[in-house]
Structure 1
Amino acid sequence: MKITPRMKRIFQALLEEKEPISIKHLAEKTGISKRTVQRELESVNDVLLPYGMEFASKTGVGVWLAGDEAARAGLLAEAASSDEYAASSKEDRRKRLVLEILREKTLRKLYYYSRKFGVSEATISTDLEAVETWLSHQGLSMARKPGSGIEVEGTEENYRRAIRFFIGENIDTKLFRQLYDGDGGENYAASLQKNHLGRLLDKEILRRVHECLEGMDNQRMDNLTENAYDGLVIHLAIAINRILQQDVIQVTGEWQEKMPRDEDYRLAEDIAAELEAEFEVSIPQLEIAYICLHLKGAKHEKIQLPGREERMELADRELRQFVNDLIDAYDGQQAYLLKQDDEFMQGLLAHLQPTIVRLVHGMSIQNPVLADIKENYSEIYARCQRAAQVLADKVGRSVPEEEIGFLAVHFGAALVRLEGRKEQIRKVQVAVVCSSGIGLSRLMAAKLEKVFKDRMEMTTYGKHDITPAVEAKIDFIISSLQLEAVQVPVVYVNPLLSEADIGEIRCLIYQFERLPRKEGTGDRHTAPFDEVNRVAACISSVIKHLRCFQAPADITFDRLLFTIGERMTVQPERQEMIVDALAKREQVSSQIFAEFGFALLHARTNGVTHPSFAVCLPEGGSCFQNSYFKGISVVLVMLVPVDDSLEVNTGIMGYISSMLIEEPDFLAMAAGGNEEIIRQELSGHLNRYFKEYLGNLA
C-alpha cells in the first residue's frame, strides 16, 4: 500500500514526538481534521509493516509509532523526501501554483497544472484568477495564449521583486539563517527542498553569498537587524542566480545615475567585487545600484549619527524635524511626553531613514504582525494612519499598511512605557514549553517575540524542566503539551499559535504586568524594602544636589553645554562625559521647546554618580538670544548615572518632566531663579510621587 501525502504528514508529526499524543493534538499539529486523522490511522499498519514500524494506541494515553531508532529514521526520511502535494487546501494549492509559475516562467497548459495538483481544469482556471491578482501587485501579468498555455510577462526587476515577496510571505527568514550558518542545516535544507523554495533560491548560492558577506567584516553590515541582513542575503542570492542564467535587469530610469556615491554605494561596490570573485561573473553597474538601494532601505539596530565635531547635514536636520512633525500628527496632546522617550526617538529615527528610501523607490516590506496590530491596537493604528499622511506628503507616495503597522509598533511600545510610569507596569516572566520539531518550536518562539517583545521575558524549557524553583520565578506557562501538577497558570496552545491562543496570552500578560514582581528565592523578604530605599535615595539626591545658575544671554548652545558640565561636577573628565552625552541626545531630537518657553536637556551618563536636576537662566532675566534657543527663557537639566537603578531614576525624572506640562506653576516658579523656593516646590512634588509609589506597593 502506497503512503499518501496525508499519511506522510501524520507520520512526520508522530515521529517528531517523544511521547504519545492525543488524536486531537495530532489533528491540530497536522492541520487535518480529527475525523480524517482517525480514518487514516485505521489502516496505517499495512503501510508501516515494510518499514519495521507499528502504530500503537492506548486509551487515556494517546497514539504513537513503535519501532527502533533505525526504523524511525528510515520512515522519517521517506516522509520528508516526498515531492507530492495534497491539494485539499485551496490556499496552499494557490501558493504552490504561484511558486510553479515563478519557478518556470514558461508556457504551460491548464492540463499540466490540473494533473500536477489533482484537480479539474475548471478549478485551476479559478485558481489562476486569484494568482493573477497576486502577480499584478508585483507588476507582473499573466498571458493566456490559446493552444500554447500560460506565461508570466513583466520586467526582470518586477520578476525578482515577486520572488522576494513570495519568499517573505511563505517562509521565516530564520530558516535561511539556519541553512547558511550550518545549525541544523540538513533539516532546513530538506525542508527548503520539500517546499520547492530551494528551486527559487539555490541553497549553495545562498551559503556562498553569506560567506562572502561574513568575510568582509563590515561594521555597517554588522549594524543591520537580523531580518535586514537575511533580506540582503536573499536579495544577493536571487541576483547571482539570475545573472548566472544571463537574466539581467534592464535600465528603467535615471535614478541610478543620480544615486550619490556615498558610504552605502561604496559598500555596494565592495560587495559586488566580492561576489564577482566568488562566482566568476561580471556584475553590471545597475545591479550595484540595486544593492545600494537595498542597503539604504534596510533596517538598522541603531541610527548612524554624525560626530559632535562634524557639521550636521541638512538632511539630518530635516529628518529630525520630520520626526517631530510625525509625532505631533499622531497625538498633539501626548507629543511632548513621547519626545522625552529616548528609546522611542532613537528607534523612530532609525526606522524612518530606510522607510523613506523604500517608499520613494516602491520597495515592499513584510509585516508578519499586521493583522494582530489592526485588530488589537486599532486606535493606535488609526492614529498612525494620520501620522503616515505626513510621511506620504513628504515622499509624494501613499504609505502601505505594512509600513503603518511598523509605525504602530514604535508608537505602541512608547505608549506602554508611558503608561508604565503611571501604573508601575513591568515585564511578565513567562516559561515556554514545546516538544515539537525544531521548526515549530522556532516558529512559536519567533511569533511570541514579535507580538509581545516589549511586554514579556521568555525562557524556553523542556516538559520535565518545570521545577518548583522555576515556578517560583515565573508568572505563567505557555505550553503546546499537557503538563502535570504545576502550580502556576498554563495557557495550552497550538504550536502555530492561533488568534485565540494569542488573545488568551495577551489577557494573562495584561493581568500579571500590573502585579508586583514575584519574590525571588534569595532576598525575598528584604527586596521590597531595598527597592523603596533606592527610590527614597534617588529623590533625596535630586533635592539635595539641585543647582540653579545663570549663563550669558547670548551664549551658544555648545558653550552652554560646557557651562552645564562645569556646574554639575568639578572633575574635568566627568565634565567632558556630560557635555558629550547631552550633545548626542540633542542630535537625536532637539530638546528646545519654544512653544513652552523652555529647553529640557537630559541624558544618562557616567559623568554623574547620582541623579541630578538643575535650572539655568539667562543673565538679565529675559531670554536666551542665540537663534538656536528660539527665545526660550529657562533651560532645565536632568542627568542620571549609568548604574543598576535605571528604572528608579528614569521613573522619577520622567515624573519631573511631566510636571513641566501638567503643573505650569512649577515652570513659572523655576523661571524665577530662587534656588530655595525651587527646592521647596520640587520637594513637595516628589513627596507626593513617593506616597503614590508606596500606595502602588500596598
Structure 2
Amino acid sequence: MRKRQLKILKKLSSAHQPVTSDQLASLIEVSSRTIRKDIKTLNDELEQSGAYIYALKGKGFELVVKDQNLFDRYVQELDPTFNQNLDLPDTPNERIKYLLNLILRKNEPIKLDDLSEQIHVSRSTLQADLKSIKPLLKRYSLNLISRPNYGLILQGTELNRRFAISEYLYDHRQIGPNLIQLKQVSVIAEMNETTLNDIWIILLYQIEVNKIVLSDIALNNLFVHIVIAYKRIKEGYSVNLIKQELADIQTQKEYEVAQKIIMQIQEVLGVSFPEIEIAYIAIHLLGTKLVNTSLTLDGSNEQMVNPEILHLVEEILQRVQDELSLQLTQDRELKISLALHLKPAINRYKYNMNIRNPMLEDIKAHYPLAFEAGITAATVINQTLSVEIDENEVAYIALHFGAAIERVKENLSLKKCYIVCASGLGSSRLIQYKLKSEFRSEIEVLGTTELYRLKEIPYPDIDFIISAVPINEPLPVPVLEVNAILSQIDLNNIKQFIKSDQSNPLTFIDEEHTFLHQSFRSKEEIFSFLMVQLKEQHALSDDYVEQLEKREEIAPTAYGNYVAIPHPITPQTSTTFLTFCTLKQPVQWGERKVQFVCLLNVEKDSMEDLQRLYDVLGKIVNTPSIVSKLLQCETYAEFIETIQINT
C-alpha cells in the first residue's frame, strides 16, 4: 500500500463523520480525482480485511468495519502505530488545541515535517494553524521561534508558560472540584480525582482560617495553577523571579499563607515545592484576593485603601467626567469599590497573570457606557503605571461603573410631586391613582393638599406640583395645571414635562449627520468617509481618524446586533453630536459584523447630563428589531421617526 493511501485510511479511521474527497485532497495535496482512485484501490485491499469504505452521496466517505479483530490485525501489519493516531484532531479548532498542548508542555524543539506527519495534515495547513497560535502565545510574552534544521521552540519564562497552560488547556467555565471538569484536569496533571479534591479542601481551609476572601473564579484559578505547578515541578521545571521581586513578595502576609498551603499540599502530593514556587502561589493570592465580601461606607474600608490607589481612582473619575460627561467624582461608594478592586488587579498585571471574565460579552452588550468608562480607566492606568489592561479586566472595572450609573438613575428617575385639588379627598386620590397607573416608574406623589395650605408643602423635597385648580401666586417649583379628571391631553403634558427635564437625544441628531444605505467594504472606508463629511463643519484635527483607531485598538466598539458606536479616544469637538451611517451590506469590525454605525462625539469639558442619550444608544444596541427598522429607513424623516417611536 502506498504511503498516500495509508494516510487516507488513517484519516477515515479517526474521523467521527464522513470526509469529503475535497477534504482528503487538501490534506494529502493531490486532486480529488486521485483520491477517488486511491479509495477504489483501498476498497479492493480491504475486501479481505474486515472493512470497506462507503460513499455517502453528498456527504463524503466513511470507513465501515465489519470485523474489528480482522481489521486490527490488518492495520497492525501495515503500521504498528496505526491505532495510536485515532484521537488526532480533525477540525482547525481541535488542531489548535492539540498544538497548544504539545507546544506548551514540550521544552524540546519540534520539527515541522514530523508534526505534519504526526497529525496527518499538509505543511501549508500546519503553517496556517501555527499562524493562529502565535498571537495566543504572544498574550503571555511567549514566542514560537522556527530555526532551520532545528525545528520549532517556545521562548518565554516558565511563569508565563504556566499562565498560558491555565488559559488554553483547562476549562474554567465551571468552578470548584465538584463542578470543574475533574477528569480533564486529572488526565492533564496525571493525578487522581481524590487527590485533586484533597488539594481543594486544603485551599478552602487555609483561606478561611487566614481570612483571605477570594471570588469563586479566583479560587478556581488558584486551584488550577497549583495543579499545573505540581506537574511542571515533577517534570523538572520551576519558575524564576528577580531577587528583589522575591524579597518584596516574602514581606507580604500572602506569602505566609502560601507557605501554609504548600506545607499541607506537599504532604498530600509527596513533592517538594521550592521556595520560589511558594512565592508564585503568593502572587496568585496578591492578584486575586478581595478585601471584604461586602462594602461598608463607615470608613473601615477607606482605611484599607492605599492612598496612591485612591489618587489614581480620583484621576480616573475626573477623566471619565471630562470624556464621557458622567458626573461620578463625588460617588464615595464608587471610589472605595474601585480602589479595593484595583489593588489586586494591578498585582495581576504586574506579574502578567491571566484572568478571564465569563461576563465580558454580556457587559459590552448591555452596559456599553459602563464599558466605555472602563476603557477610560484602563487608559489612565496605562499612562500612570505603564500597565496594560485587557478587555477582561476592563469589563470587571465596568461593573463598578455600571452600579454607580444605576445608583444615579435610581436617585434621579422618580420625579417627586404634590397634588393640589379643591374638590376634596376623593378627586385628589383619583388623580393620585391615575398618576401611579401611568407613571409608576417616573413619578412619586409625596402628598395631596388644598389650595389654602400651599405654604405647608415641603418645596425642597419636590420637583413640581400638579394642580386641579388655578394657582396665581408664584411658587418655588413648576406647576402643571390639569383637569380634576385627567384627560389624555393632561397625561401628555405631564409626560412632556418629565421628558423635558432630561437631555433629549433627538437634539444631538440632524439630517446633515445622517447617511443612509452607504456602500463601504471596511471600517477604514467608513472612518475616512465620516472624516471628510465632518471635518469642515466641526474643525476636526488631521489625526481624528487616528484617534478613532486608538480607541478601537483597546477594544473594538462593535457591540453585537450589527451595531458599532465608534468615538475618538479623547473628546475632539466643541459640541456633542451623533453621526449615523447605515450600510447596504455588513462589514467586518474586529470579530463582529457591523451594518449600523453611530459615531459619537462628546463636547470637550462638557457638563451636560448625557444619561438619556446613552440609554437610547444602549436600547438600540440591545434591540434587534429597532436596528432592523433603522436599516430599512430610506429617508431622514423615516429614520428620526423610528428612533422617536421605538426609544
TM-score by length of 1: 0.46
Question: Whose radius of gyration is greater, 1 or 2?
Answer: 2
- TM-score normalised per structure 2: 0.49
